[in-house]
Amino acid sequence: MTQKPVKKHDSHRHGGEASDWLTHWPLLLSLLILAVMLTAEYGFGAVPGELPRLAIYLTAYLLAGYKVLDLAFRKARRLDIFNEFFLMSVATLGAFAIGEYSEGVAVMVFYAIGEWFQDVAVNRAKRSIKALLDIRPDTVDVIRQGRVQTVEPSEVEIGEAIQVKPGEKVALDGELLSERATFNTAALTGESKPDSKEKGEQVLAGMINLNTVAEVKARALFRDSKLSRILEMVQDATARKSRTQLFISRFAKVYTPIVFALAVLLVVLPYFFVSDYVFRDWLYRGLVFLVISCPCALVVSIPLGYFGGIGLASKNGILFKGSNFLDVMTGVDTVVMDKTGTLTKGVFNVQEVVADGIDEKELVRLTAAIESKSTHPIALAVTRYAGNSPEGAEVGDVEEVPGHGLKGTVDGREVLAGNTRLLRKFGVKYDVAIDREADTVVVVAVDGRYAGYILISDEIKEDAKQTVEELSEMGIRSVMLSGDKQSVVEKVARTVGVDEAFGDLLPEDKVKKVEALKNEGRHIAFVGDGVNDAPVIALADAGIAMGGLGSDATIETADIVIQNDQPAKIVTAIKIGKITKGIVWQNIGLAMGVKVIVLLLGAGGVATLWEAVIADVGVALLAIMNAVRIQRKSV
């Protein structure tokens, strides 16, 4: 996947690749000329004649600033004069006009060096984000006609088998053909613990085979792998700006013309109030004012801070779809969670089968046959328990009743399989004692008559309780919403310690609960699987998908994707948002504070152009280094 091109006229990228020293030889030569001239003039008192001196400094000036001058000219032709390029051009040409050649060159040289360093930092941040995920191999071994051929991953078709040697990365999403294999999934999930897969289980692009040669059947094209789609998502994330970034962009558009006008007034107004007015002196002060007012420290360091936040999150197995959601997470005061797959593992096992008026094996066979048409974790538990018994069954007219279960025919018999609401909906009487059962129950009716139930239990995730405790310590309210029955929900709620828990909810009921919380003025993050809970995810301030690598719909609907199933990553996402916002506002305070001080000194005639450019470039570099710190933070 290629990175999207950057429009040069919109950004600070007015060189080639910022880290390539050879592309900056004009700037380096200009710096050398400036250093030699200053050494000659101030070190040895060797001052050339006025015309040679002007020619030398003008050469150095053009070498350092020709790209800035070109950008300023092109923008001025479009009547866009309130920008940093035009501002720097006016300030430096003004310095030449009053004979301050060395200072004019110095302003342009150090401004260009600052831009160069900014380019390096921004490009490095973007590359680090891409490198965290762009772990797809360049070649793949595909098995064709009994022989292994090495081809590009894009040439592999769906259904073909690929061979992955120990230490190699899986190139495409697929299904394990080998009996067993162990993979390192750290690059995808941030987890160092090896993940063992059995034959038939899903293997994802980016996983690293650890111990034995494995064969995988491709289930998606290279361009359609979940990793490719996530890469695209992270690339696009840098384009989705936070409110702070948008504010700074709008601020710069207002701020620049204001300081431009103030600089002009600083030159003109004293003529009417100062008795010993000297135009050259006040023009110099106006030029100092222009140089220090350049907003580049803000314009570059702020997005760089958010790039760093996205990078830090990616290192921790969390994908933000935009820097705006980093800001959103800092304001969350209520985390609403689904139960299955979020607080519980979603790995269900059949505990008991109770038949009523039907053979137990026949009950399991009929239930498994209709559940085979569903991918819900509960359905998978039933089909896994049934083994091969439903094979050959004729299943038809299967209809999913949202929030209730399944309705269909098996070998010509009408079968209902779901929760007790499903049976009530179709007027089937059942043993009401089932409603008091604390575990999940699949209730079954055959040909309009209650036929029994299958008892299934789920396991709570190890870090679920710790996550809820940490949210509470941060002053964040926790709420659990589930379609499962209230007794099951209450049991899980007591174990993990959530503040509120609601069961027996249909998808539309979940929406109503979240709407009620929003009406209370709560800022909500909803955590779910991103498929059945899509309406709630869209309604929440931040929609978080758990285990997003396993679901295409998750990647599409969620604002934030947690690449493994750990609830603890919810807390991590909030912490990363707060770290990022803190450093961004440190940079804003630093830049604005120093600028105001030096602007006042410049207006008072205390600060020179040298001090102005050093302060401007210095603040920018300090802000950049502060932003880069984000990626080195541990959370």
Q: What angle do CA 281, 285, 290 make, to 5 degrees?
A: 145
Which pLDDT score is estimated for 129? 56
pLDDT band at 616 (very low <50, low <70, confident <90, very high): confident
Catalytic, 338? Answer yes
**Cα–chain-centroid distance for residue 244?**
16
Question: 6-10, 46-50, 51-55 — which is least confidently predicted?
Answer: 6-10
Average pLDDT over residues 321-341: 89
* pLDDT surpassing 90 at residue 118: no
Strand 161-164 relative to strand 140-144: parallel, antiparallel, unpaired?
Answer: antiparallel
DSSP string, 450-490: EEEEEEEE--B-TTHHHHHHHHHHTT-EEEEE-SS-HHHHH
DSSP letters, 288-316, are HHHHHT-THHHHHHHHHHHHHHHHHHHHT
Of 95, 107, 2, 635, whose CA–CA distance to 326 is shortest?
635
Helix H segments across 134-242?
186-189, 226-237
Coil, strand or helix at 532: coil
184-223 pLDDT tens trace? 876 666 555 678 888 988 888 878 888 889 999 999 888 7
Please say whether the beta carbons of 113 and 29 come within 8 A.
no
pLDDT at 515 over 80: yes
Q: Copy the structure tokens of residue 326.
A: 């980093």
pLDDT of residue 226: 67
pLDDT tens-digit profile of 397-416? 889 888 788 999 999 999 99
pLDDT of residue 1: 33
> Across-strand partners of 198?
180
**Confidence at residue 176, expressed as pLDDT on a 0 to 100 scale:** 93
Q: What integer pLDDT is reported at residue 206 of this predicted model?
A: 79
Which is more confident, 610 or 76?
A: 76
User: How far is the C-alpha of 303 from the C-alpha of 324, rounded, in Å?
Assistant: 11
pLDDT of residue 451: 93
pLDDT single digits (tens) 154-188: 899 999 999 998 888 888 889 999 998 988 876 66
pLDDT of 237: 55
Q: What span, in angstroms and rounded, lies between the C-alpha atoms of 233 and 314?
A: 12
Structure-model confidence comparison of residues 428 and 116, the more confident one: 428
pLDDT digits (tens, 9 = 90+) for 222-254: 877 766 766 666 556 555 555 666 666 677 677
pLDDT per residue over 417-432, tens digit each? 999 889 999 999 998 8
pLDDT at 444 over 90: yes
Query: Taking the CB of residue 505, how many other CB atoms lie within 10 A of it?
Result: 19
- Give the residue, 422 or 618, on which the prediction is more confident: 422
User: What is the average per-residue pLDDT within 89-102?
Assistant: 85
Say yes or no to pLDDT of 126 above 70. Answer: no
Question: Would you state the pLDDT for residue 635?
Answer: 76
- Out of 338, 463, 529, 565, pick the active-site residue: 338
What value does the mean pLDDT of the chain take? 82
| pTM for the model | 0.67
